[in-house]
Amino acid sequence: MIHSSNYKPRCYPYGSGGPAEIDRVQNLTTALTLNREKIKEVGTEGTIDWKKRIPSLRMTITQYEYGMIEFWRKLANQATSNSIVLNDFKTSMIDVCGYKTDDNGTFLGTVWYPKLRLAGFSINIGDPQAYVERSIELVGEDETLFLNNNKYFIMREFTANAGSNQTFTVSDGGTTYPNPVLDPDNSGVFLARVDRIRTGTPSTLTLTTDYSFNSSTQVLTVVTTNAGDLIRAYWTAGSYITGENPFTTNTTDASALSADFCSIYLESANYLYKLQSVGINVSFDRTDYYEIGADTIIQRGIRNKTCSITLGRIIDAYTVEEVARGVAGSSYGKIDSRKYADNLQLFVRLYSSAAKSTFLLKYHFTDLSPVSADTGTPVDDYISRGIVLEGEACTIATIL
């Protein structure tokens, strides 16, 4: 059996930024639909064949929020940016791998989910004593299991010069990098994929047309390169990179951030008191297109973005409503819900402790409009109120 402590999640951005382990994961689930359709005909009993359509896969990664922007950078294919907006996720992709070891310490294999796209995410603070959780939703098409002689998934990156037929030695025979093992499904194929990142824009190269690989010399030849191109070779082998592990436990950053480490502001100066819960859901209406004659995605994008924020609180004042009406701090005597503003800002600021002396990360939402409000008046309890704000813009940043 494989315990969760022996499942090592790691991501490989399809673009700028190197690979990294995925930290503070609390749950990782996948749902693969093979999209196979029975073909029948008049005059024949039973199924005569199956139409094998392109599969669809959905992955959910739930993490404790730990105040670091690293995984957001990987998802956006950005190497060093300290400010990420939703449009940065339009065409970005990542590979996710799970490296699996059983209870006896025997490494069993790697599961590979290539070219996943962000479909949305949520940030949840369930109550005043809860941990902050983030949940990432990814979509893709494929799940591949690497076993036995192919059980380890490996990537190596090279920096190219300008020219034609530039060569790169993929393996040193196991001194550091093990030799690629033959793909059991494809005769003569030893590399799982070869990517080229040119000025931050990735592309997957085609065997024979764009590159060749000599399994005897371990030499990868790329037909055309520009100076500064990054060439990434992916392959499988029976052992891993010498002296390295697919997953290194993060002992530096916070293990989890709790609700009291957060400050929530509506507009820039209105701190929200008496909040009992904050639920943030960001969803994308993706436009990932195929084409006739191919079984891969040829165009990626996001048609619409929706940011929905639910603020739940105990009623002792109407600060949220006053801010929404634009009369906060004025002792205004009337709040007409029809006159709520539609350009509000919400700040969720995360700190390293309840003292809030060290800022870590913020989620900043702009151009929000109130869309609904609910009040609960239960017997023998205090009145509660929830208000939902909706918009289309979010910035994730390490800048206060």
**What DSSP string runs through 140-207?**
ES--EEEEGGG-EEEEEEEEPPSEEEEEEE---TTSSSPPPPPPTTSTT--EEEEEEEETTEEEEPPB
Element (H, E) at 324: helix 319-325
The SS3 of residue 208 is coil
Please check whether residue 107 is in contact with residue 99, taking contact to mean a CB–CB distance below 8 angstroms: yes
Measured in degrees and rounded to the nearest 5, phi and psi for residue 88 equal: -65, -15
Give the pLDDT score at 63.
98
Last residue of a domain, one of 237, 271, 289: 237
Give domain status of residue 242, yes or no: no
Q: What is the pLDDT of residue 44?
A: 94
Task: Give the C-alpha separation, 244 to 103, whole Å.
Answer: 21
Assess whether 233 and 355 both reside in one domain. no
**Whether the Cβ atoms of residue 89 and residue 214 lie closer than 8 Å to each other:** no
Kindly state whether residues 221 and 361 are assigned to the same domain: no
Range of the domain at 160: 4-237
pLDDT for the residue numbered 331: 86
Asked if residue 340 and residue 224 are part of one domain, the reply reads no
Query: Among 136, 93, 130, 67, which Cα is nearest to 281's?
Result: 136
**Residue at 361: amino acid letter:** L
Alpha-carbon distance values, 31 to 35, 61, 91, 302 (Å): 12, 12, 22, 22
Q: Are residues 117 and 188 in the same domain?
A: yes
Residues of the chain whose pLDDT is less than 70?
A: none
324 and 232, same domain (yes or no): no
Alpha carbon distance 112, 95 (integer Å): 7
Asked if residue 51 is part of any domain, the answer here is yes
Domain count, the chain: 2
Q: Are residues 219 and 296 in the same domain?
A: no
Residue 191 lies in a domain: yes
Q: What is the DSSP letter of 300?
A: -
Strands 152-159 and 230-237: antiparallel
Q: For residues 263 and 217, state if they share a domain.
A: no
Residue 254 lies in a domain: no
Q: Give the whole-angstrom CA distance, residue 320 versus residue 313.
A: 10
Classify burial at 69, counting beta carbons within 10 Å of its beta carbon; exposed 0-12, middle 13-18, buried 19 or more: buried
The Cα 205–Cα 202 span in angstroms is: 10
Contact 16, 94 (CB under 8 A): no
Instruction: Pick the closest to residue 147 from 102, 89, 96, 91 (CA basis).
Output: 102
CA 248 to chain centre: 19
Burial 170-184 (b: 16+ CB within 10 A, else e): bbeeeeebbbbbebe
Same-domain pairing of 218 and 264 = no
Task: Round to whole Å and give the CA distance between 283 and 205.
Answer: 31
Q: Are residues 323 and 205 part of one domain?
A: no
DSSP label at 239?
A: S
184, 282: one domain: no
One-letter amino acid at 347 equals: F
Contact criterion met (CB below 8 Å) for 99 and 2: no
CA distance linking residue 245 with residue 19, whole number of Å: 12
Please report the pLDDT score of residue 388 as a whole number. Answer: 96
Residue 253 lies in a domain: no
What is the model's pLDDT at position 377? 86
d(CA 199, CA 184): 34
Q: Alpha helices, DSSP H only, in 40-95?
A: 70-76
CATH number of domain containing 366:
2.30.110
Q: Report the pLDDT value the prediction gives residue 1, as an integer from 0 to 100.
A: 87
Q: Enter the pTM of the model.
A: 0.94
Examine the domain organization and report whether 65 and 186 are in the same domain. yes
Quick one: 78 and 27 in the same domain? Answer: yes
The Cα–Cα gap between 323 and 310 comes to 16
